[in-house]
Amino acid sequence: KAGVTQTPRYLIKTRGQQVTLSCSPISGHRSVSWYQQTPGQGLQFLFEYFSETQRNKGNFPGRFSGRQFSNSRSEMNVSTLELGDSALYLCASSLYGQQAPNTEAFFGQGTRLTVV
Amino acid sequence: GQNIDQPTEMTATEGAIVQINCTYQTSGFNGLFWYQQHAGEAPTFLSYNVLDGLEEKGRFSSFLSRSKGYSYLLLKELQMKDSASYLCAAMDSNYQLIWGAGTKLIIKP
């Protein structure tokens, strides 16, 4: 079966712009979680969507938002980009999401965002 | 606060055994995960522990001690392809994953 697909793979944006990233989960998976990964910081949880509802949210400012569509595809939006937003953004899909922790999460290859 | 600690980098020899430690402090606990991430690639799931003890899966084993807030990942018969970052993550009572910064494992011939 197809894996988790994230588009685009690479993105360069200017400070102050906004960006939308896309994640298509594995077919049948209803949960999509988003993470920010920076060197030395590890993965930071952004939010989790399950059946079109945001079920959990990390400690990120309101400039970071997301949504999930009826086909489980998810988008993440960052407005008013800052230099510090440069990172690898990963999404992970799973059948039941984080509230069924023994179900495996599958990660996409990420979108590398560079803000200049 | 919530925190995960793991070594930044480790070096081991092909064919040897290496143990990567992880200590955690979370508000509540719903399990401990290990993921492997090769450079430029997505993290891939290795193991999940929620009960104390050792879980063995081929060359990889993961151990958990809930009372000590401690886990380790044991890799046996190391191969060059095991060179990667190993990510430890603990799930808190809100089912949020708290991630360590990862341990970069370098395998030398």
A43 touches chain B (CB under 8 A): yes
Question: Which residues on A lie below 8 Å from B44 (Cβ)?
Answer: 107
Residues A8, A88: contact at Cβ < 8 Å?
no
Per-residue pLDDT at B95 exceeds 90: no
* β pairing state of A10-13 and A111-115: parallel
Per-residue confidence (pLDDT) for residue A98, from 0 to 100 = 72
Average pLDDT over every residue of B7-30:
96
d(CA A79, nearest CA chain B) in Å:
24
Residues B89, B97: contact at Cβ < 8 Å?
yes
CA closest to B5 among chain A residues: A42
Per-residue confidence (pLDDT) for residue A1, from 0 to 100 = 57
Question: What are the pLDDT tens digits along chain A (116 aa)?
Answer: 579 999 999 999 999 999 999 999 999 999 999 999 998 778 899 999 999 999 889 999 999 999 999 999 999 999 999 999 999 999 999 887 777 766 788 999 999 999 99
Round to whole Å and give the CA distance between A60 and A22.
18
Q: Compute the mean pLDDT over every residue in chain B, rounded to the nearest whole number.
A: 94
A105 touches chain B (CB under 8 A): yes
Cβ contact (<8 Å) for B97 and A43? yes
Report residue B70 CA to chain centroid gap.
10
Question: Which residues on A lie below 8 Å from B97 (Cβ)?
Answer: 33, 43, 45, 98
Q: Which amino acid is at B22?
A: C
Per-residue pLDDT at B51 exceeds 60: yes
d(CA A37, nearest CA chain B) in Å:
9
Per-residue confidence (pLDDT) for residue B1, from 0 to 100 = 75
To the nearest 5 percent, what fractions of chain B are helix, strand and coil?
Answer: 5, 55, 40
Of A94, A35, A65, nearest to B89 by C-alpha is A35
